[in-house]
Structure 1
């Protein structure tokens, strides 16, 4: 069983690296390239990704990091260098820190087969007293952003623009409402040309947690991914959501840590 489990994790990680790391990871927003990296211009901040840094020596990697920092600094934007736990060289975190990047909270990359999750959560896509609906209107995106601002205790108004852009590129956004109030929200990003649907969001107002809303939103998005023909679900999971998803059958394949350089430093 352990050998089968390890083999499956290796297979899922290989699919993740080959299909999601590179242009397909962010093909729905403006991008440019610099050697092995792709620079992504999200509304909230810049983003740097890559499949591998193989072939570059230490000084070349240092110069590459600085160029990304300066590219987004010239635009007045913070930039996130997305570091995975299995990335090489092993001293890459130290090199990022030396260039002024600071790590944010580490998350776990979880993957599962869409059909398996949809089947496991069959009948769990509803919660008493909660209406879950797919939303497409700007007003709903603003309500979701306001809910997220309450959850996180900071201004998430930028999220309305982000969700509006994602919807124009085919993403599905879901709001969970109670008495007309948005109490949770989540979205699914379908990576065209890959087998993957990315699951994002899932934050819930404190007083509404523990009622199954998070699982219901996973169930709705898993069923939709199956309907659209996407084989895998992928989540960058916080420590809060990771155990929930693992109990549902998601497998941890690596970690991801945002290394961020803020504008104006």
Structure 2
């Protein structure tokens, strides 16, 4: 395919796409639309995306986006594409509003069929790397790389358990490439690479061929020759403009996947405090004083409207009892887990709520970092334990109205459920 044909596919399939357009929206992200543009709020920063703008009052459009991001104290990034008819006017409007441009990069596009597909023995997937020191080494490599399509830190936060292709020599990482797949758009997105290594591009093409038709990358001039040699076309230039409002932005997103070793730490403290392990989970936790446990047998399956009502009550309670800067963890044994600040998700103008308190086929935990409040859903016993005095006070009446039967208070049976035994 020619560069023009590839650029047309990029414009029609991928450009202007937002997280809300994807089957699995990243955690802690909110998308807002304003006419021809979309604002993507990450809590720590924001991005403006759009297709070519024509016939717009660019000065007014830019000011509106600044006001929206300033209200959230989010620095903002805005890309300008050289092939757009209004590229010069947009760049001038951004500069007039105080945006600062970064060095331009090449927009590189390829048909997967045109890129050699092979993985050299010296290239391996990050999924094979479990030790934290090597992960830190990869993060350092990525942080030192020139600006490209996306930072590894953002890719890691968006996709959860992240995959990186690593070029090694004698067991030591030399360079790395990180990527995402735009599900539904048939594009494989190379977010960045730490050095111009053809081995990494060939390995990426092998991955891309599994589910994608096209590959996109943005690279500094020094990286362009290796892409072109691998079958990419330089289709345009991209310049990122940045602006930061007054104030101190948040350091963490409202929600995201739990990184290691934080996940190990919260699991260790939870299991010790509540006297439970994976092997004993079906028997429940050591329910603390002030806790209340309800019988959940009335919930038939995950689509039951009653369960949705229960979850809404619990979420409102956790939000009401949350403290600024809280970390609320959603945990399942041996499965990737998430965390959020309960005061920054689930409300008006905020990203969606990410937790849940009960599953009909797995045990699930919600707990704050200080272990003061949370929930434990035991699907075998068909029970939901809520602990933490403030949280119990917030949700008890509503949950009792919905579920009726209380199994235990303070970890002791209340005597209203018949069981076998003496």
TM-score between both structures, scaled by the size of structure 2: 0.50
Which structure has the highest helix share of the two? 1
Give the match's secondary structure for 1:91. helix
Equivalent residue, structure 2, for 1:104: 102
**Alpha-carbon offset, residue 242 of structure 1:** 0.8
Considering only aligned residues, what root-mean-square deviation do their CA atoms show, in Å?
A: 2.8
* Alpha-carbon offset, residue 23 of structure 1: 2.5
Q: Does 1:218 align with 2:194?
A: no
SS at match of 2:83: coil
Sort the Cα spacing of 1:95 and 1:183 in 2 relative to 1 into closer, same or farther, 3 A: same
Map of 1:17-96 to 2, 5 A cutoff? Answer: 17-24=11-18, 27=22, 28-29=25-26, 30=29, 31-42=31-42, 45-56=45-56, 60-89=57-86, 90-96=88-94
Tell me, in whole angstroms, the C-alpha distance in 1 between the residues paired with 2:59 and 2:204: 40
Structure 2 residue aligned with 1:134 = 126
Question: 1:263 Cα shift?
Answer: 3.8
Q: Is the 8 A contact 2:125 2:163 kept in 1?
A: no
**Does the aligned pair in 2 maintain the 1:79–1:261 contact within 8 Å?**
yes
Asked which structure has the greater RCO (Cα within 8 Å, sep 6+), the reply is: 1
Which secondary structure state, in structure 1, belongs to the residue aligned with residue 205 of structure 2? helix
Per-residue deviation at 1:254?
Answer: 1.1
Aligned partners of 2:44 and 2:168: how far apart in 1? 26
Query: Hey, what's the Cα distance between the residues in 2 that align with 1:177 and 1:44?
Result: 33
Equivalent pairs counted in the alignment come to: 235
Structure number with greater Rg is: 2
1:252 aligns with 234
C-alpha change, 1:217 and 1:41, in structure 2 (3 Å) is: farther
Q: Choose the corresponding residue for 2:139, options 110, 127, 145.
A: 145
Q: Distance between the aligned counterparts of 2:218 and 2:152, measured in 1?
A: 21
Cα distance in structure 1, aligned partners of 2:60 and 2:46 = 18
CA contact (8 A) 2:49 2:78 kept: yes
Q: Can you give the 5+ residue segments of structure 1 that lack an aligned partner in the other structure?
A: 153-158, 205-212
Which runs of no fewer than 5 residues in structure 2 stay unpaired?
A: 248-422
1:195 aligned onto 2:186: yes
